[in-house]
Amino acid sequence: MWLSPHAWRRRLVFWVGAILVGAISVVFAKAADWAQLLFHGMRSEAWWSPLLLTPIGFVVSVWLVRKVFPGSEGSGIPQAIAARHLRTHDERQHLLALPIAAGKILLTLLGLACGASIGREGPTVQIGAAIMLRLARFGEIAHERGLILAGSAAGISAAFNTPLAGVVFAIEEMSRAFEQRTNGLVLTAVILAGIASLGLVGNYSYFGSTQATVVQQADWLLVAVCGIGGGFFGGVFSGTILAGSRWARRVITTHPLQRSLLIAGFCGLAVAVIGVATNGATFGTGYEQAKSAVEGQALPATFWLAKLVSSLLSTLSGIPGGIFAPALAVGAGFGSMVAEVLGSDAISLAVVLGMAGYFAGVVQAPMTAFVIILEMTGNNGNVIPLMIAAMLGYGTSRLVAPQPLYRSLAWGFIEAERARQAERVRHEAAAAPPEVPKG
């Protein structure tokens, strides 16, 4: 078996796929940075330009989603989760085809180039899953569900340079279990994607680094407030997304394209107004603001709330784009505000605790939250406080929004695909010639 040419072909195809996910993640990250620089360059030339550029960009993006790249909307994580629950390759292709992955990249870059408050990490999950699904067919690898899981984990690992978080994300969010037959696939994919990322950009901390830890009793108050408060607002964000998505589906039922474009235009205009009012702070991923806060620079007290609303509108608009980086920026701003209100000098500590509480509240995946922040900031001395903040955030969020965000959105894609398959069966049955009675 080990020396079988067919087995070696499968291994080589899988290894190439994992390395490809890592390389594409790096290129995507560089392109995302360029798109944001392009937008801010235009904004610096004319402060009012987002008031035109952002709503127009949102409308164009949603039109392309509807007409050219159906299935590319939103984060991309729900599509990858849904694909694991579908039964056939053809069903999965409607969510993870390579043209959809290409559209995901292009339209996420378009969103960043017009000021949307979105991230690239969720889209990287869908892209990684799509690459692995395509190579599964090319390499004649039967276990498609395992490869989708591996591609998703590799995407998170390469996007954040957090290999351990990639594995935890696969366990906690994508599969809710670690199947023995897929653990090797996930670990190998994460390792190879990580090697590709390291080879192209080197080792780095995504949000800078901090050595701030809990050193006195007053710091535990920061843990409690950031965990509970972050979780509450994360739950509000998550619940509003789910309620808003259901409302949007009802509203666009009779005129899907026209009303989708109208919603996108309104959301884009609102995002532009907030961005102009905050002097551009809420546009884009929020990476720069979060990085500066992690390194000890206080953020404006209202930044987190403005960023939360801007991210909410960007998500509800229906454009492709993730919520990971904006959520971490919101959490950083919330932690900074808490430190200011409580009169604490431990800004960096409050920031990472706020990131853990809010992020865990949004995605309701506490292990992923504290591991990803631990790896991103390089602070190994803060494990227990981060774990507590993440668990407090998760527990509080569950009280506010009982339904997990990604899982709930995934079921929408599953139900839509099942309805499409049922309609296809009815159409084929109606088109079939009637049976001629024998005799």
Report residue 162's pLDDT band, with 50, 70 and 90 as the boundaries. confident
Same domain, 182 and 262: no
| Position 104 pLDDT exceeds 90 | yes
Average pLDDT in the 411-432 region? 78
- pLDDT score recorded for residue 192: 76
Highest mean predicted confidence (pLDDT) among 71-85, 154-168, 191-205: 71-85
- pLDDT score recorded for residue 5: 66
Same domain, 163 and 249: no
Its pTM stands at: 0.90
CATH number at 37 reads 1.10.3080.10
Residue 332 lies in a domain: yes
- pLDDT score recorded for residue 201: 67
The Cα angle at residue 94 between residues 91 and 100, in degrees rounded to 5: 155
Residue 105 near residue 69 (C-beta atoms within 8 A): no
| Position 225 pLDDT exceeds 90 | yes
Same domain, 238 and 118: no
Same domain, 222 and 329: yes
Structure tokens, 419: 């309805």
| Position 377 pLDDT exceeds 90 | no
Report residue 182's pLDDT band, with 50, 70 and 90 as the boundaries. low
Same domain, 171 and 250: no
Same domain, 36 and 171: yes
Domain boundary among 155, 174, 201: 201
- pLDDT score recorded for residue 345: 84
Q: How far apart are the first and last CA of the chain?
A: 56
Please state the domain count of the chain.
Answer: 2
| Position 413 pLDDT exceeds 70 | yes
Report residue 135's pLDDT band, with 50, 70 and 90 as the boundaries. confident
- pLDDT score recorded for residue 33: 92
Same domain, 228 and 190: no
- pLDDT score recorded for residue 259: 93
Sign of CA dihedral 83, 89, 95, 100: positive
Residue 124 lies in a domain: yes
- pLDDT score recorded for residue 191: 72
Same domain, 165 and 271: no
Measured distance CA(91)–CA(83) in Å, rounded: 8
* 286 vs 207, more confident: 286
Exposure on the CB side of residue 214, measured as CA atoms within 13 A: 18
| Position 141 pLDDT exceeds 70 | no
Structure tokens, 52: 């035109």
- pLDDT score recorded for residue 393: 96
| Position 179 pLDDT exceeds 60 | no
| Position 177 pLDDT exceeds 60 | no
| Position 140 pLDDT exceeds 70 | no
Same domain, 190 and 251: no
Q: At what angle do helices 256-277 and 49-67 cross, to 10 degrees?
A: 150
Residue 436 lies in a domain: no
Same domain, 141 and 290: no
| Position 92 pLDDT exceeds 60 | yes
| Position 163 pLDDT exceeds 70 | yes
Q: Which of 91-95, 175-179, 384-388, 408-412 has the lowest mean pLDDT?
A: 175-179
Residue 418 lies in a domain: no
Average pLDDT in the 97-106 region? 94
- pLDDT score recorded for residue 338: 95
- pLDDT score recorded for residue 44: 92
Q: Which residue range(s) make up the domain with 353?
A: 217-408
Residue 207 lies in a domain: no
- pLDDT score recorded for residue 3: 56
Report residue 61's pLDDT band, with 50, 70 and 90 as the boundaries. very high
| Position 124 pLDDT exceeds 80 | yes
Highest mean predicted confidence (pLDDT) among 2-11, 145-154, 192-201: 145-154
Same domain, 269 and 352: yes
| Position 381 pLDDT exceeds 80 | no
Same domain, 46 and 81: yes
Structure tokens, 224: 């409690």
- pLDDT score recorded for residue 209: 65
Residue 324 near residue 121 (C-beta atoms within 8 A): yes
Residue 206 lies in a domain: no
* 15 vs 112, more confident: 112
Domain boundary among 147, 171, 201: 201
Q: What tens digit of pLDDT does each residue of 264-313 get?
A: 999 999 999 999 999 999 999 999 999 899 888 899 999 999 999 999 99
Residue 417 lies in a domain: no
How far from 395 is each of 51, 119, 169, 216, 226, CA to CA, in Å? 39, 25, 18, 25, 13
Domain boundary among 154, 177, 201: 201
Residue 57 lies in a domain: yes
| Position 180 pLDDT exceeds 60 | no
Q: Give the chain's mean pLDDT.
A: 86
In this structure, the number of other CB atoms found within 10 A of the CB of residue 431 comes to: 7
Measured distance CA(384)–CA(353) in Å, rounded: 11
Highest mean predicted confidence (pLDDT) among 77-86, 184-193, 311-320, 360-369: 311-320
Q: Which of 27-31, 131-135, 155-159, 315-319 has the lowest mean pLDDT?
A: 155-159
- pLDDT score recorded for residue 195: 72
